Amino acid sequence: MKKEDCFYLGKIVSKYSFKGELLIKLDTDEPGLYENLDAMFVDLRNNLVPFFIEASQLHKSDLLRVRFEDVDNEPDADALIKCDVYLPLEFLPKLEGDKFYFHEVIGFKVEDINFGTVGTIVSINDSTAQALFEIDRDGIEILIPMNDEFINKIDRPNKTVFVETPEGLIDLYL
């Protein structure tokens, strides 16, 4: 399984018991969706390795307590601490309306109500305080803040994001 076919679920943060149980800090608003998984991928030295789950339960609000098959002692559990955990993209709950996952809109066209066709989303920059659409317009990079006030509609069937940006924002790049 490749990382680009998966989404980040969380990080193994600590051991829970001397029998190899681990706590995973989940990076989700809905931890209950991931309480009864059969398996997950653990990133070991940049390789996603499947681990099968014998038992799991939510622990506090955003921690998942898991017991993996063949991890039944402290040294085996120690080797997994600080590792990232992933699931295949098909495990993501479907979003409706104008809600979307970042990976979902890569390749979508962007249409501005006033400007017209802006270009194609090539990436999402979420390393800043405000996430940005990175758009390619014939080799020119255009950045548009992913602000709910700017996004009018997500047209999934036609792979288009309709936006209404402040006047002059797009012209800054041209």
Specify the CATH class of 102-173 in words. mainly beta
Amino acid at 142: I
The number of CA neighbours under 13 Å toward the Cβ of 86 is 19
Reading the block at residue 114, the tokens are 């006033």
Global model pTM greater than 0.85: no
Total number of residues shown for the chain: 174
What is residue 53's three-state secondary structure?
strand
CATH 2.40.30.60, the chain: domain bounds: 3-90
| More reliable by pLDDT, 39 or 128 | 39
Q: Residue 1 has what pLDDT?
A: 83
Q: How many CB atoms lie within 10 A of CB 166?
A: 11
Distance CA 28, CA 63 (A): 10
Indicate the burial class of 13 (C-beta count within 10 angstroms; 0-12, 13-18, 19 or more). Answer: middle
Mean pLDDT (the chain, rounded): 92
- d(CA 83, CA 42) in angstroms, rounded, equals 7
pLDDT in tens, 10-54: 999 999 988 889 999 998 878 888 999 999 999 999 999 999 999
Where do the CATH 2.30.30.240 domains begin and end in the chain? 102-173
Superfamily of domain 3-90 in CATH is RimM (2.40.30.60)
Task: Answer whether 155's CB lies under 8 Å from 162's CB.
Answer: yes
Identify which has the larger pLDDT, 97 or 154.
Answer: 154
